[in-house]
Structure 1
Amino acid sequence: MSVEILSSALIELGEDRIASADQDTERARLARAVYEVERDALLEEHPWKFAIRRVALARLAAAPAFGFARAFRLPADCLHVIGTEPETAYGIEGGNLLCDLDAVAVRYVRRVENPAEMPPTFRVALAARVAVRLARKITGSSAEKERLEALYRERLRTAKGRDARGGGTPEANRPDLLQRARR
């Protein structure tokens, strides 16, 4: 858990910084209570380049009871599957990817727990998101919550814009169209 991100959220609310994520104060307990859920939700709602991973999946011995021929275990840190290679129809159930292929790989958004792996613009957007969740409880003000929601939307737009410009060429993120046509 990031003391930096939690402190930034509290500062947005007009509160003092915390010295430790384990600090035994009401505001630190509140921030800890929402941090991981808000972090994962923010990661899941956009294919952040820093959070994307590619991996071949391990096939499970037991096939699904119906609907698909095979089941593959998704990585424990998988928050959202972006797509499969080769492209195929699939379903996700109980931490497994179900499809009719004998082998499959996925591009997915992973849970990033280490703030050092997050770009600065993502960290400030996350801090604003945490502040929005805490606003009513800490300040008791609807107007303050609305101000923070606007701040969050602005920081999110900045983070997404930076993410769009910072990950190589657009062609590097798409399968080759000729290879796809040959399949």
Structure 2
Amino acid sequence: MAIMNNSPNSKPDIKIEKDNTTGIYNKNYIEALLNNRFPHMWLCTLMLIDIDDFKFINENHGKSEGDKVLREVSLILTDMVGELGTVARYEEDMFIIKLPLISKRAGFLFAEKLLNMIERAPIYLKGEKQYITVSIGICTFLKDENRFLTLNQWIKATENALLKAKAHGKNMIVQL
């Protein structure tokens, strides 16, 4: 449940806004933030980042090691995003990034840096050095384009971009 202040610069007031595993914002928080800001946006890039083969990690290394992967990825994302935007855990192995005032081209370049940073960062699972990859779906909202009349359309387009990235072999970026 979210109690919203309709000011475009206000933060949503969420009872539980942090994810227990990663310590970053959760889906409830980011959805409330997007709902609050969408009517006032004129340029914003949205990214969905999915950890490739996360189910395999959990099944073969255990849930605690899977949680370690989630924490490591969330650290990389929050370090890279910094004050530019907002990072949240969106679903089990999926993160969402909201980057206000970031163009389509700049968003793609940023996603490339994220992809490269994650695939080069070693993660130790049960003492063994491992590397993971992610797939990224990106969609940029530009008010003047009238591509997305609703927030749901924009999120759905970003989800479709992510699905295409996963379908084309993972460890890639698709921008719609």
TM-score, shorter chain, exceeding 0.5: no
Relative to its length, the structure with more strand (as a share) is 2
Q: Structure 1-normalised TM-score?
A: 0.28
Instruction: Answer with 1 or 2: which has the greater Rg.
Output: 1
Q: Structure 2-normalised TM-score?
A: 0.29
